[in-house]
Amino acid sequence: MFNIGIDLGGTDIKTAIVDMDGNIVAKAQRPTLAQRPYNEVVKDMADSALEALAKTSYTLDDIKNIGIGIPGIADEKTGNVIFCTNLGWYDTPLSKEIQKYINKPVFINNDATVAGYAEYIAVVSKGTHSSVFITLGTGIGSGIIINGKPWSGFHGVGAELGHAPLNVINGVMCTCGNEGCLERYCSATALIRLAKETLQKDNNSIIFEKCKGNLEKINARMVVDAAKENDEIAVKIFDEYVFYLSKAILMVINIIDPEVIVLGGGVSKAGSFLVDAVNKKIPGFLLYKNSKYPEILIAKLGADAGVIGAAMLGKE
Ligand SMILES: [Zn+2]
């Protein structure tokens, strides 16, 4: 048997046929065109999944479940999307709609939770007692896996680490309307903001060469690369970023204390350079100075995490 995994993004719909161990058998993809009525998007999700299935020698009889990762919040009980801001979906009956085309059980969860689940099923956090997955991208996504199951909270709105308050007084304004959310300090966007603010005051840095003097062109990789090259200003910017990220990780430790913490998304491409920097900071922040804390790992699945994790949602 196989499952259908669907990664519904603001830009693309990615689908895959995935075996019961989390291996992709076939894939398909098409643009989301998010401004359309939701039923047109859902029809394309189903068509794309059927297109992936047609690339295999299997039929719908070989498919057990459909799993969907969405950039928002879902109600696992009703199969409705509670909201997806960048798609403009509110209380959308996603399960019922897709079952018009493929009549199989449907499981829906948040995309970061799904990606974290994929790492648990297939790769870096496989077989762990508990793991927390944090994506350091344009924003911050997070997923909590406890005893082999994704944890999204009672109302489906848990595991939203990105909007936990990190700086409650005079914090940076967040897209969600609150001030000082963690993603304003720990995302790739935050690292770029820190770099811009610093270089506006002092541009004697190789970051200034890398962006050819145009601060709007700065990306997270330029800052990381310059810090690796020991550029004094870049080291300072990266250190400030790592300070915030370590405080975010401390929050996870103090509330959940998972076995492992997995970092994904753009900034995680810094790899061991980032992990080593975080591991230098964490011990000084711990409540019990000599206590063990979660191993910090880098995600391995990249772009396929969404479809794999979605496909595995109905595993239980
Ligand atoms: Zn926020």
* Least confident span in 136-145, 186-195, 266-275: 136-145
pLDDT digits (tens, 9 = 90+) for 246-262: 999 999 999 999 999 99
pLDDT digits (tens, 9 = 90+) for 192-218: 999 999 999 999 999 999 999 999 999
Residues with CB in 5 Å of ion ligand 1: 163, 174, 176, 178, 181
Provide the total of helices (H) and of strands (E) in the chain, helices listed first: 10, 13
- Are the beta carbons of 249 and 261 closer than 8 angstroms? yes
Residue type, 32: T
Q: What is the pTM of this model?
A: 0.86
State the distance from the centre of ligand 1 to the C-alpha of 202, rounded, in angstroms.
29
Give CA–CA dist 99/101, Å, rounded.
Answer: 5
Strand partners, 2: 19, 63
State the distance from the centre of ligand 1 to the C-alpha of 132, rounded, in angstroms.
19
| H runs (alpha helix) in 256-311 | 272-285, 305-311
Residue 23 DSSP code: -
CATH of domain 2-121+303-315: 3.30.420.40
State the distance from the centre of ligand 1 to the C-alpha of 168, rounded, in angstroms.
11
Task: Record the tokens describing residue 288, joined without a space.
Answer: 């019990």
Cα dihedral angle (90, 95, 100, 105), rounded to 10 degrees? 180
Task: Record the tokens describing residue 194, joined without a space.
Answer: 């820190």
pLDDT digits (tens, 9 = 90+) for 219-241: 999 999 999 999 999 999 999 99
The answer to whether domain 2-121+303-315 and domain 128-299 are alike in fold is yes
Q: How far is CA 255 from CA 144, 146, 294, in A?
A: 12, 13, 12
Name the pLDDT band for 94 (thresholds 50, 70, 90). very high
State the distance from the centre of ligand 1 to the C-alpha of 182, rounded, in angstroms.
7
pLDDT digits (tens, 9 = 90+) for 112-121: 889 989 988 8
Please state whether beta strands 2-8 and 12-19 pair in parallel, antiparallel, or not at all (unpaired). antiparallel
Domain borders along the chain are 2-121+303-315, 128-299
Percent of the chain with pLDDT over 70: 100
Name the pLDDT band for 154 (thresholds 50, 70, 90). confident
Fold of 128-299: Nucleotidyltransferase; domain 5 (3.30.420)
State the distance from the centre of ligand 1 to the C-alpha of 67, rounded, in angstroms.
27
Name the pLDDT band for 316 (thresholds 50, 70, 90). low
